[in-house]
Amino acid sequence: MTARKGERYSLGKLIVQGGTPLEGRVSISGAKNATLAVMAAAMMGCGETILENIPNIVDVEVMMELCRELGGEANWLEPGTIRMVLPDSASCKTSYTLAKKLRASNLLLGALIGRFGWAEVALPGGDNIGSRPMDLHIKGLYCLGAELKVEHGYIRGGVIGGGKRLTGNKVYLDFPSVGATENIMMAAVLAKGQTIIENCAKEPEIVDLANFLNAMGGRVRGAGTDLIRIDGVQRLEGVRYAVIPDRVEAGTYMVAAAATRGRVIVENVIPTHLHALSAKLREMGVTVEEEDDQVLVDGRGEFRPVDIKTMPYPGFPTDMQSQLMALLASVSGTSMIVENVYENRLRVVDELQRMGAQIKIEGRTAIIDGTSELTGAQVKATDLRAGAALIIAGLIAEGETEVSCMYHVDRGYEHLEEKLRSLGAKVRRVESSSKA
């Protein structure tokens, strides 16, 4: 299998012809955010781990390269399945060259200190969507007995006194950070004694990581609530595991179906993970019906404006507000979006305005005066979810939209053009590439 190579980023553009309602069925890939956390945790296991339902996206390839850089093995066995092994002789240092491409590279901090007692991890990159400091990660690991320093662009350190194992403790997070919760979970699973994480993140990806760690032999309880208990074990073993479906990819196609006034069945989903989005779409007047592992979205009715506040799970996800903003830009009336998680999520507004969207920014609030007159334009994806939003806007705009900087979108959506075309969308990529 040939995956998109992490060392090369697509500089291509997506050409989108608007005006066609999406119709049909689309199958959702494995969750990007769950996959990256599970891949980091897989490096804690002795022996090989086989991971299934893995999306073929740039971020996954970068994490595989990080595993190889540490001295491990990571390769595709077949579409959707990868094999990973990190031996006891592994290096515990990541390079800036790779870490700058992937925010989730910071998850190697907890994984490496948990298994080897030491790590030297370059400060991570990823989307420029706002401040995402490492202080909660460092605080949590310090509570478990790790001493860390940030210097020369790296976070360096290990178990105080030079030991191999951390020690369980009580950790309270000032904010329910997903990344900090994941890092502390991984570090604690091999620590001596019990760790209790309070005010932790409750996202489905946290539950998936806990399930994976338990499959490897860990003892994690309470994932999905605001208190997680972890009883440390001596060793984790490699296993075979399938990650959950991607709730943000699913949500993106749900919004695209509604925006184009189409009718789409979104398959291979866990409907409970989508409840916050489904509730808002229903409030707008969109028909959303859940059945087993699929959701039907019918956008052929009359829409109403809505107000949204992004919040940690189970609140409305920050990863879906850009896409919904594109939809609301075409809904008559005034809607409002308050971004409570990442301040730079509203950068997409400048690009939507180029397409005729009537949006004003006041602090962290976007005030949207809906119009049915979006028009195609040349726009730029400023981050992963902004790119998805601009594609949705292009699908409903009059004429042709050219979305550049598609490498952002390639980081998180598998086979985007193919899936859109299967639903009737008129999209094509104009490709070029260069070293990142």
Q: With left for phi above 0 and alpha for psi between -120 and 50, is residue 144 left, alpha or beta?
A: alpha
Stretch (H or E) spanning 118: strand 118-122
For residues 141 and 92, what is the distance between their CA atoms, to the nearest angstrom? Answer: 16
Is position 134 annotated in a ligand binding site?
yes
Total residue count of the chain as it appears in this document: 436
What is the CA 122 to chain-centroid distance, rounded? Answer: 20
Is position 341 annotated in a ligand binding site?
yes
Is position 59 annotated in a ligand binding site?
no
> What is the 3 state secondary structure string of 243-295?
CCECHHHHHHHHHHHHHCCCEEEEECCCHHHHHHHHHHHHHHCCEEEEECCEE
Is position 60 annotated in a ligand binding site?
no
Q: Please list the alpha-helical segments (H only) found in 43-116.
A: 58-69, 96-99, 108-116
Assigned token pair, 335: 């809607």
Is position 227 annotated in a ligand binding site?
no
Is position 32 annotated in a ligand binding site?
yes
For residues 311 and 188, what is the distance between their CA atoms, to the nearest angstrom? Answer: 27
Q: What is the residue whose two structure tokens read 């920014």? A: 361
Is position 292 annotated in a ligand binding site?
no
For residues 165 and 191, what is the distance between their CA atoms, to the nearest angstrom? Answer: 6
Q: If you write DSSP's letter for every residue of 393-412 in order, what string do you get?
A: HHHHSBSEEEEE-THHHHTT
**Catalytic sites, residue numbers:** 127
What is the CA 220 to chain-centroid distance, rounded? Answer: 22
Is position 136 annotated in a ligand binding site?
yes
Q: Is the dihedral of CA 211, 217, 221, 227 positive or negative?
A: negative
Q: Are 72 and 43 in contact (CB under 8 A)?
A: yes
- DSSP code at position 47: S
- What are the backbone angles phi and psi of residue 150, rounded to the nearest 5°? -105, 115
Q: Can you say which residues are annotated as belonging to the binding site for phosphoenolpyruvate?
A: 32-33
Point out the annotated binding site for UDP-N-acetyl-alpha-D-glucosamine.
103, 132-136, 319, 341
Q: Which residues are annotated as a binding site?
A: 32-33, 103, 132-136, 319, 341
